[in-house]
Amino acid sequence: MFFSLVEEYISDDADADDIESQWPSHPTTQEPDQHPSAIGLKDSGFANACEFAFGTIDHLDFDVFQIDEMSHGHALEVVLITCMKKLDLLQRCRIDVDKLSIFATQVRDGYRGNPYHTHVHAADVLQGTYWFIANGGLDSRINLTACESLSILLAATIHDYDHPGFDNNFVQLSPTLKHPAAERFSGSILEQHSIEQGLKLIHKSDLLCNVSFLDQIRIHDLIRTATLSTDVSQSAKYLADFKRIWLNDSASASTSTSTSISTSISTDDDDVNFSDTSSIASRDSALCLILQCADVGNPARPFNLYHKWSESVMVEFANQGQEQLTFQMQPTSRFHCQENKHPLMIAECQVGFIKFVVAPLYSALQSFLPNTTPVYNQLIQNLAHHQNFMDSNSIPVKLTSPPRSKSLLSSSSSSSSSSSSSSC
């Protein structure tokens, strides 16, 4: 089956070219030797940012906003090159650094100027993915191959490529967006689009020219699998699969979305029955989990960084809510309103997001990789901060848009809907 996918993505670019011409505001991809942004990678700011990133990328308080400022808007290129060097993938996979730089720049140019889903978000997810491999213990836990490490870093890089700043449900139903992928895919529309365009850029940049054909198949397959797992509406399914495979939890499918969490941390995994690491399905499940955790990992960052992301996602929510009201569509949740940057609204939204989406993922990750305990501790600390703030400031917030009743866009509960929208 996958040989047909390789043919679709590598041998025939016609459909992808048609998509680019139909999808308004999609950035124009220039030929590698004509790409003006690649010239900017050689300036002193970029070099200084690379040096700074190399010394700090293993830190939990890694500041991707500072990297983006130092590099004059090239955080994604800086972080990707740094991660590749740190894991020695340039040598192990024989990746040409100039081709890598051009590819990274073209991907960065394909991220839109959204409040949240930007190239900076991609760089943040990329650093988180790297941290779980190098410092969280995944590399040593399952003895990652160079091909697998490269694949998951590339998946993190392209996972939200050309994201319009709206969620999948709205993209599918909007009378104005007319996303071309909405007619071609029945689910995970934005993720499918990012995969398609990302693999096209990998091919055009000739990034994998020194990688064997069989390894290219594995890379393409893993990029597709991992990127699809970042559809947060599918988070519970992927988590249930992971827990069944790695944590011997046969009941996880029915309980993963309602997992209750506490502030106590347990690192006792003597009773955990870990799976056979040689299985491709098992290994892919572990790689999907770290990418999912990195994608929704803002609440596990130090609070000063986390708060910046929280404010950005609320702006993006408000933009979608306004668009929905314009076309007389019910806003996805009560958080999709113009007043949602009120501190209480942010706290309430984030508490739901952490409890229903982030904490179940990080709890499973910590059971699997005990070295990630500091990250989970930070998550619980941030959750407690929001809960304490809500308990001491119970002032109602007046909304200009109506509270969610029965939405046109989703049939899930108000709490789970609001939490699951944060990182579509």
The CATH number of the domain where 198 resides is what?
1.10.1300.10
Using an 8 Å Cβ cutoff, are 256 and 249 in contact? no
Number of domains in the chain: 2
Tens of pLDDT, residue by residue over 357-395, are: 999 999 999 999 999 999 999 999 999 999 999 999 865
Tens of pLDDT, residue by residue over 81-109, are: 999 999 999 999 999 999 999 999 999 99
Whether residues 223 and 367 share a domain: the answer is no
Whether residues 286 and 336 share a domain: the answer is no
Residue 70 tokens, joined = 């130092």
Average pLDDT over residues 140-168: 96
212 backbone dihedrals φ, ψ, rounded to 5°: -60, 155
- Which are the contacts of 59, defined by CB distance < 8 A and separation ≥ 6? none
Using an 8 Å Cβ cutoff, are 199 and 220 in contact? yes
Whether residues 283 and 313 share a domain: the answer is no
Whether residues 307 and 279 share a domain: the answer is no
Identify whether 173 is part of a domain.
Answer: yes
Whether residues 381 and 236 share a domain: the answer is no
Given a cut of 70, whether residue 1 has pLDDT beyond it is no
Model pTM score: 0.82
What pLDDT was estimated at residue 277? 64
Domain that holds residue 21: 2-258+275-295
Identify whether 110 is part of a domain.
Answer: yes
Identify whether 409 is part of a domain.
Answer: no
- Higher-confidence residue of 40 and 383: namely 383
Report helix, strand or coil for 118. coil
Whether residues 285 and 313 share a domain: the answer is no
Identify whether 266 is part of a domain.
Answer: no
Using an 8 Å Cβ cutoff, are 107 and 201 in contact? yes
Whether residues 356 and 390 share a domain: the answer is yes
Whether residues 288 and 373 share a domain: the answer is no
Given a cut of 80, whether residue 244 has pLDDT beyond it is yes
In the DSSP assignment, the letter for residue 146 is H
Identify whether 70 is part of a domain.
Answer: yes
Whether residues 174 and 123 share a domain: the answer is yes
What percent of the chain is modeled with pLDDT above 70?
75
Whether residues 166 and 102 share a domain: the answer is yes
3-state DSSP helix/strand/coil % of the chain, to nearest 5: 65, 0, 35
Short-list 350, 331, 330, 332, CA closest to 342: 350
Q: Mean pLDDT for the chain?
A: 82
Whether residues 211 and 286 share a domain: the answer is yes
348 confidence band (pLDDT: 50, 70, 90): very high
